[in-house]
Structure 1
């Protein structure tokens, strides 16, 4: 009987996979590799090793959950290709979980008195721009995922009424713009994890929030930007 959810997190330099039981959301196992540009060569290895080490096979999978983005274009495409391939081959459903929402869930789950804060994940989008969003401790969306151009007034309206926690790869550069204030807290070393993707993926599985395997594309938030090399 297919009882497991496989979750893939490839939106950042961390390549992460996890297994949860779809019946109760309990974590079976996880594996990750913090190595730049490792996704294409190591994702399938991490999946097979996690299944083997936990005593399971691909036939035990009930669904696959992907980190939906925003994040690395290349990383998201690799995760989507792997997840869609597994779903097609095994004839199982596909789920997609917001990268920013899963980061917020990850932090809120480990925060004492989580209801006292709003949660603002920020992913670096180069220069002084980030991909950001704001959530309550229950995952309710206060500010939808959006590109944010950072300055001292960014999210001033939210901080006027709430205490915010900032985290993710883009939070450090925002911290340099803000004066010291009790309304803003910053957490270091918070990276996307397949464990959080899987936890939210189980909830989506139970409400049958499935995505179309053939037509699914990651949520890049901004169009992929490429340039043509200049002629020599």
Structure 2
């Protein structure tokens, strides 16, 4: 009987895969690769290796959880295609987890900040823009995922009443703008992980919060920037 949830995180330059037990939520194993533009050629290999190393196979997988975005358009598209392909072939449900919510969960469970602290994952977008959201320590959404144009007034309401912990690939652009605000705190080196996607995916699985495999598309948040090739 299938007993695992497989989670995929491909929204950034890190390609991450994890397995959790459905029964108790325990982490079975995790693997990741930190190579630029490697997702398309290595994701399936990482999945196969993780299953083999943990002495499992695809028939043990009861559902797939995928990082839903925002993030890298190409990375999200690769993760979604892999998740949909597995779910279709195995006839199992698909779960989509907000990349920002998973990143906030990842930090909240591993840090000892007070309950009054808000958690603000920031993913680098263009120029002085980030994809960001704000959550409480227990994952309640305070500010929904949105593109933020950074300036000294960004998150002013939250910073006026709470300590706000910012992290992720876009946080370094915000730090100098609020250097004089003692409520603004920053963590470095935080990158999306399939472990947090899997933990939230398990909760979604238990709620039967599934996506339509045929029609699912990642949450890109913004239209993709494209250019038209110049005529030769």
Taking structure 2 as the reference length, what is the TM-score of the superposition? 0.99
Residue in 2 that maps onto 1:71: 71
Residue in 2 that maps onto 1:98: 98
Write the distance in 2 (CA, Å) between the matches of 1:180 and 1:148.
20
Q: Which runs of 5+ in 1 are unaligned?
A: none
Shift of 1:115: 1.2
Cα deviation per residue 1:109-141 (whole Å; 9 max; x = unaligned)?
A: 011144131000000002000000000011100
Residue in 2 that maps onto 1:231: 231
Residue in 2 that maps onto 1:118: 118
Bigger mean CA deviation after superposition, 12-21 or 105-114 = 105-114
Write the distance in 1 (CA, Å) between the matches of 2:114 and 2:15.
27
Bigger mean CA deviation after superposition, 2-11 or 170-179 = 170-179
In structure 2, the residue corresponding to 1:177 is in which secondary structure?
helix
The 1:125/1:113 distance shift into structure 2, 3 A limit, reads closer
Shift of 1:32: 0.2
Residue in 2 that maps onto 1:29: 29
The 1:90/1:114 distance shift into structure 2, 3 A limit, reads farther
Write the distance in 1 (CA, Å) between the matches of 2:113 and 2:165.
13
Write the distance in 1 (CA, Å) between the matches of 2:229 and 2:175.
36
Write the distance in 2 (CA, Å) between the matches of 1:126 and 1:158.
23
Write the distance in 2 (CA, Å) between the matches of 1:22 and 1:46.
20
Bigger mean CA deviation after superposition, 106-115 or 153-162 = 106-115
Shift of 1:179: 2.3
Residue in 2 that maps onto 1:38: 38
Write the distance in 1 (CA, Å) between the matches of 2:171 and 2:116.
20
Residue in 2 that maps onto 1:5: 5
Write the distance in 1 (CA, Å) between the matches of 2:80 and 2:211.
12
In structure 2, the residue corresponding to 1:115 is in which secondary structure?
coil
In structure 1, the residue corresponding to 2:166 is in which secondary structure?
strand
In structure 2, the residue corresponding to 1:126 is in which secondary structure?
coil
Write the distance in 1 (CA, Å) between the matches of 2:103 and 2:45.
24
Residue in 2 that maps onto 1:107: 107
Shift of 1:150: 0.2
Shift of 1:49: 0.1
Query: Aligned-pair RMSD on alpha carbons?
Result: 0.8
Taking structure 1 as the reference length, what is the TM-score of the superposition? 0.99
Cα deviation per residue 1:12-49 (whole Å; 9 max; x = unaligned)?
A: 00000000011111100000001100100000000000
Structure 1 residues 38-187: aligned runs within 5 Å: 38-187=38-187
Structure 1 residues 200-215: aligned runs within 5 Å: 200-215=200-215
Shift of 1:181: 2.7
